[in-house]
Structure 1
Amino acid sequence: MSESSTLASVLESQASLLQEASLALPHQFSQCTYPNGPIRQAVYLCLTCTSPASSTTQPRGICSACSIACHTDHEQLELFPKRRFRCDCPTHGLTEACTLHAKEEPVNQANEYGPNFRAVFCRCGRKYDANKERETMIQCLQCEDWFHESCLNLRERPPSREPTPEAQEPPASDGASDASSSGLPPPLVTAEDYDALICSACVRKVHAVERIAGMPGAIMVVRSSDGEPWRAIGQQEVIVVDEKDTSTANGHPGVTATTTPTESTGEKRGRSASVDQEPTAKRARVSPTPEGADYIDAGCSCSAPPRDRRVQNLFKKLHTPNEGVSQEEISESYQGLGDVFLIDGWRDRWCSCGACAESLKDRSYLVEEEDTYEPPEDPDSGLSLEELGMRALQRLPREQALNGIMAFNAMRDDLMQHLRPFAERGEEVPESAIRAFFNARIQELEAKRR
């Protein structure tokens, strides 16, 4: 604030601050989520209460309400949503007493504390610093870890880890934000190109995902050799199926393939005219036989289409270590290969064969979109200070409310008397004069308390 300010500018600034606060914190933070049990919710790591660098200290996580009500003055790191997590604030695991949950609870045994709870993110293990990180980090849908775009082979690693410029907008959404907002060129696969990421380690654990990797709708980033540029394969190829047409295309009845390629180097393609002018009797499907495809298992009953040979060979090497080479060493050699970016509508395209269905059975979040807990809306959010003051007065006992009104009127009269000389001289009231008035009143109140 400048040395002198007009009343209108002060009121305008106050209204702007209230609006920003209501947008940033629109919820109530008066209830710890511990009674809700293990749920998917936003989790925070309290760096003051736990030491992520220590190998002997068990990391703990707290809910959004406790991060504000119980750990306000502590240094915290936002971990974003975590699945099947129960707040640790009211448990014996943290020494700081929970102010929202009166009963002290036993330590949560079912919580999983991955590397993120030690402030370690991505397969590279680089220490995360929100003030210096230039790259966007993308969350894996399954393990919920976060990965740099360069570690996903979507871009070259930035030469400098300088702080991100201030004039940038926050990410559009969790888990899939566009890094071009951080002052870097667009990545090979942008946020508009996909809906969810599943990292390579998680892909190899789920047969249904590995089976469609690199196919249209399940984008992968590959290259033929170390000297070749990275390329995206599996970007959606639009195919039109006319249910009334009995003719054949590529050996499939009623299928007309467009010439849109399924492999690109990251440049955005325009939409096919056949999509924009598609009649209601037609529907879109993905190509059943992309170029260079092959089956992974002879006689496999899986209804997923044949797979690109490059992808087939990659997963074969990841699953079958060479003699004398451990699985960990193989994974390290192929670090960043095998990540899959699923496009919109991917949950409707799973194969229903026994092997695929079995791999999805205990992973409901791959079949149906899961709910993420949010605190209840705050009815006071967006109200002005005057409205909040009146609401607070209405909640007080009558005697206390009257005493509060009398004290307010007395302060108002004293302030008017303090400002009257400036009005009589036609002078602008400086900020120092306002501060001097309220400092004097604070000293009087402290003297009365003593």
Structure 2
Amino acid sequence: MASLGSLTEFVASQDELVREAALTLPHEFSRCTYSLGPIRQAVYLCLTCAVPRGLCSSCSIACHTDHEQIELFPKRNFRCDCPTTAIPHGCTLHRSIEGENMENKYDQNFRSIFCRCSRPYDPKSERETMIQCLACEDWFHESCLHLRTRPSSRQASPVPETKVTTHDDDANDNQSEASSSGLPPPLISAEDYDAFVCSSCVCSIDTLRRYAGTQGAIMVVRDAEDSSWRKLDGNASGMNASTTTEGDLLDIDDSLAAPGQKRSRSQSFHSEGPERKKQHISPEPSSPCLAPSPNPVAQAIFQGSQLLSDTKASLGAGDVFLTEGWRERWCRCSRCFPSLSGHPYLLEEEETYEPPEDPDSGLSLEELGMRALERLPRDRAIDGIRAFNDMRDDLLAYLRPFAQEGRIVSEADVRLFFESLREGQRGY
């Protein structure tokens, strides 16, 4: 039978559990975010509910406690679905029943499917680190980004490396310092970049496509199908001269072809906090284009993908890893700015909602007990104090023989004491 040792050790162990709980859940989860409207916030997918919809942090804890859930991490412009008619499970925090959120976007993540490989995510078997795209906010395996060879076996994975980049920084909060569990370092490690944008999103943003493969916008490429993958960061020409020809570059958009001359946390806000002042963002119409010259290797990859040329597309997917300070490096001339302004997260850090701090977080067991008493009506508080004093006296009387005889209090002894209390027995 395991022994409890001394009461001091037992109390110390309980205090440690309280501290660990405060670090794990430091926020107060008593308010659904539905009333805040569409915001950027952590979203949880409930697998138990029949309809695949998203929950805010508070509802994931207060309303779906016993349900199986997957954390999708931050999603922008998202409104909690818990109090809506889309989820039959009633919301305990937002009492009014609301209509379905028609503006929410439910991508493949809401079917528990991730990455361009469309593999389901199983935290118990997935071994690879996954990285979140700043733009579409989907998650990608390192092997699918050509950062490593896909592991042959599946073991428990580490915390996802949220290079969530919009958050070029929120990413950093969620980002795992280690690479995939038990695997060698990837071609591009977490310390090498600040934000990740998948190839599909790069292709849809003209200025970002223009910067791809230049300094500070790293790509992963290879010279031939049988070559090793390597980094393309604008510091080297990239391919052999024979691989890229003038004809490969003819289709580059003329508007993009003009030649040109560890990290802070993302901003967060609370529902009752002061509104953060936004930086005024505008183009510089009279300025010359300062964007770097397009990297011929990168542009050949994009053209190959658009032309569905297997040979060219196999040289790289077109994903981009942006290094620290990338927002300050954009050219804001009349040609480059329009495609950036349609994606505000490319120009300034996004605010991410976090629940307010829990006033009880970090309090000791004694302090938590006193806080609970203070919230009770006076007559009930007095009854509670009397009951506690009675139990204390009984416990002291029960433990006195152990102290006098030098015996260790076992788990069975403690259980016997509380069983006796429940039966109303007195005198030991």
Q: TM-score, normalised by structure 2?
A: 0.82
Contact kept, 8 Å, 1:5 with 1:431, in 2: the verdict is no
Corresponding residue of 1:193: 192
Residue of structure 1 aligned with 2:376, choices 379, 396, 411: 396
Alignment match, 1:413 = 393
Partners of 2:415 and 2:160 in 1: how far apart?
35
The verdict on how the C-alpha distance between 1:393 and 1:177 changes in structure 2, with shifts beyond 3 A counting, is: closer
- What secondary structure, in the 3-state scheme, does the structure 2 residue paired with 1:81 have? strand
Contact kept in structure 1, 2:44 and 2:72, CA below 8 Å: yes
* 1:448 counterpart residue number: none
Question: 1:313: which partner in 2?
Answer: 300
Shift of 1:180: 2.9
| CA contact 1:136–1:178 (8 Å) conserved in 2 | no
| 1:217-366 superposed matches below 5 A | 217-234=216-233, 296-297=252-253, 300-301=257-258, 303-321=290-308, 334=314, 337-366=317-346
Q: Distance in 2 between matches of 1:211 and 1:319?
A: 15
Is the 2:62–2:93 contact (alpha carbons within 8 Å) kept by the matching residues of 1?
Answer: yes
Give the drift of 1:433: 0.8
8 Å CA contact retained: 2:301, 2:313 = no
- In the aligned structure 2, how far is the partner of 1:331 from the partner of 1:101? 55
Aligned-pair CA distance for 1:179: 4.4
The root-mean-square deviation of aligned C-alpha atoms, in Å, is 2.8
**Residue 426 of structure 1: which of 392, 406, 422 is its match?**
406
Distance 1:159 1:136, change over 3 A: same
Question: SS at 1:390's partner residue?
Answer: helix
Structure having greater relative contact order (Cα 8 Å, sep ≥ 6) = 2
Deviation at 1:334, TM superposition (A): 4.8
**Aligned-partner Cα distance in 2 for 1:362–1:93:** 30
CA distance in 2, matches of 1:190, 1:209: 21
Q: Is the aligned partner of 1:81 residue 2:61?
A: no
Give the CA deviation at 1:307.
2.4
Task: After superposition, give the CA deviation of every residue in 1:92-124 in whole Å (9 maximum; x if it has no partner).
Answer: 111111111111111111000011111111111
> 2:267 — aligned with what?
none
Corresponding residue for 1:25? 25
- Tell me the distance in 2 between the aligned counterparts of 1:214 and 1:346: 13
- Residues 188 and 400 from structure 1, CA distance in 2 versus in 1: closer, same or farther, beyond 3 angstroms? same
Task: Tell me: CA distance 1:336–1:394, structure 2 relative to 1, closer, same or farther (3 Å).
Answer: farther
Deviation at 1:156, TM superposition (A): 0.7
Higher alpha-carbon deviation: 132-141 or 346-355: 346-355
Counterpart residue identity of residue 64, structure 2:
H
- CA separation of 1:331 and 1:378: change in aligned 2, threshold 3 A: farther
1:123 maps to 2:122: no
Give the superposition deviation at 1:417. 2.2
Counterpart of 2:49? 49
Matches of 2:121 and 2:401 in 1, distance apart? 55
Give the equivalent residue in structure 1 for 2:10: 10
Identity %: 56
Which residue pairs with 1:91 in the alignment? 84
Task: State the secondary structure of the residue aligned to 2:179.
Answer: helix
Aligned to 2:215: 216
Cα pair 2:127 2:181 within 8 Å, conserved: yes
One-letter amino acid matched to 2:91: C
Contact 1:92 1:107 (C-alpha < 8 Å) held by counterparts = yes
**Cα–Cα, structure 1 residues 332 and 400, in superposed 2: closer, same or farther, change >3 Å?**
farther
The SS at the match of 2:64 is coil
Query: How has the CA–CA distance of structure 1 residues 174 and 116 changed in structure 2, closer, same or farther, with 3 Å as cutoff?
Result: farther
Using the alignment, how far apart are the partners of 1:437 and 1:223 within structure 2? Answer: 71
Alignment of 1:77-156 (within 5 A): 77-156=70-149
Distance 1:185 1:321 in 2: 33
SS at match of 1:173: helix
Contact persistence 1:194–1:344 (CA under 8 A): yes
CA 194–225 in structure 1, closer or farther in 2 if over 3 Å, else same: same
CA distance in 2, matches of 1:137, 1:30: 31
Q: By how many angstroms is 1:431 displaced?
A: 1.2
Which amino acid in structure 2 is aligned with residue 8 of structure 1?
T
Counterparts in 2 of 1:407 and 1:39: CA distance versus 1, 3 Å: same
The alignment partner of 2:357 has SS state of coil
Q: How far apart are 1:162 and its partner, in Å?
A: 1.9
**1:361 is aligned with what amino acid?**
S
Distance change >3 Å, CA 203–CA 13, structure 1 → 2: same
User: Per the alignment, do residues 369 and 92 of structure 1 end up closer, same or farther by CA in structure 2, a change over 3 Å counting?
Assistant: same
Unpaired runs of 5+ residues, structure 1, are 51-57, 238-260, 265-291, 323-329, 446-450
How many residue pairs get aligned? The number is 378
Structure 1 runs, 4 residues or longer, greater than 4 Å off: 168-172, 261-264, 292-295, 330-336, 442-445
Unpaired stretches in structure 2, ≥5 consecutive residues:
163-170, 240-245, 259-288
**Contact 2:160–2:175 under 8 Å retained in 1:** no
The alignment's TM-score, normalised by the length of structure 1, stands at: 0.78
Alignment partners' CA distance in 1, 2:25 and 2:237: 43
Give 1:320 deviation, angstroms.
Answer: 2.8
Measured in 2, the distance between the counterparts of 1:48 and 1:439 equals 37
The alpha carbon displacement at 1:315 in A equals: 0.7
The 1:418–1:12 alpha-carbon spacing in structure 2 relative to 1, beyond 3 Å, is same
Q: CA deviation at 1:5?
A: 2.5
